Amino acid sequence: MSFKVLDNINSVVLLGNFNHRDFSVERLQLFDIIDKADFENKDANIEVTDSYSYYNLRWSILQIDNQRILLQINDPNSYKNEFEDLVFSVLGLIGTSKISAIGINNNYTVQMPSTENWHKIGDSLVPKALWAEALATDAHLGMMDVSVKAQAYHQDPIEGHLNIAVKPIFKNENDYHENSLTIKFNNHFNVPDDNTDFNLPRLVIEKCLADLNSSCYEKMESLITRSLK
């Protein structure tokens, strides 16, 4: 059995109290967070309003409002270098602003080698026989999406949960590829309300970012393999 990874989107989400004006083009350049060439690239999409700032650049997306910061990589090959640098540079720019939660996300679009394998994934995760019997029907049944939460999956340096969602991609969707599905991993960490260590979010990301990128791939591979048995 083999499958093909069509897309791999990695992101970090920070929740808390922020000032999106701290992330102006001028400040991002001043602190060498993003190169001037990235802003001047003809494909760059930049939007700054009274309520949020949005930068869709050559290799990354940076979106900030007063409650949420999204850092997303457009080029998986940049993961070990530019993306980690971007995340830690943004943490430095945040300074002592309170962060209440951290999300480290790995989203895969996967293409199965056959329609039979594609159906087998859904039938393993959401058994059709169970639903057909419960509904007393011989109508066609198919999985729309399924999600699982692993409570307190992470313990170090703080408690965190793992949320996994699997969804087939259908022909009427923009990102349709034959026999494809999305598998999304969300590693969610709630920063304790009484936390006084402003370095804690950095410790969480420093410890988990690269490790989670590789371990999520292994979990995805294991899930597919076991579903096809």
At residue 183, the 3 state secondary structure works out as strand
What are the residues whose beta carbons fall under 8 Å from the beta carbon of 91, sequence distance 6 or more? 201, 202, 205
| Cα 227-228-229 angle, rounded to 5 deg | 95
Cα–Cα distance between 114 and 116 in angstroms, integer? Answer: 5
At residue 143, the 3 state secondary structure works out as coil
Cα–Cα distance between 82 and 32 in angstroms, integer? Answer: 12
Q: How far apart are the first and last CA of the chain?
A: 10
Phi/psi at 204 (5° precision)? -60, -50
Q: pLDDT 10s digit of each residue in the chain, 229 long?
A: 589 999 999 999 999 999 998 999 899 999 888 888 888 888 899 999 999 999 998 889 999 999 999 999 877 666 667 788 899 999 999 988 889 999 999 999 999 999 999 999 999 999 999 999 999 999 999 999 999 999 999 998 899 999 999 999 999 888 789 999 999 999 999 999 898 888 899 999 988 887 777 899 999 999 999 999 9
* 157 preceded by a cis bond (ω within 30 of 0): yes
Cα–Cα distance between 229 and 56 in angstroms, integer? Answer: 41
Please tell me the pTM assigned to this model.
Answer: 0.92
Please report, for residues 131, 141, 189, 213, the alpha-carbon distance to residue 138 in angstroms, rounded to integers and kept in the order given. Answer: 10, 8, 43, 41
**How many other CB atoms sit within 10 Å of the CB of residue 27?**
12
How many residues does this entry show for the chain?
A: 229
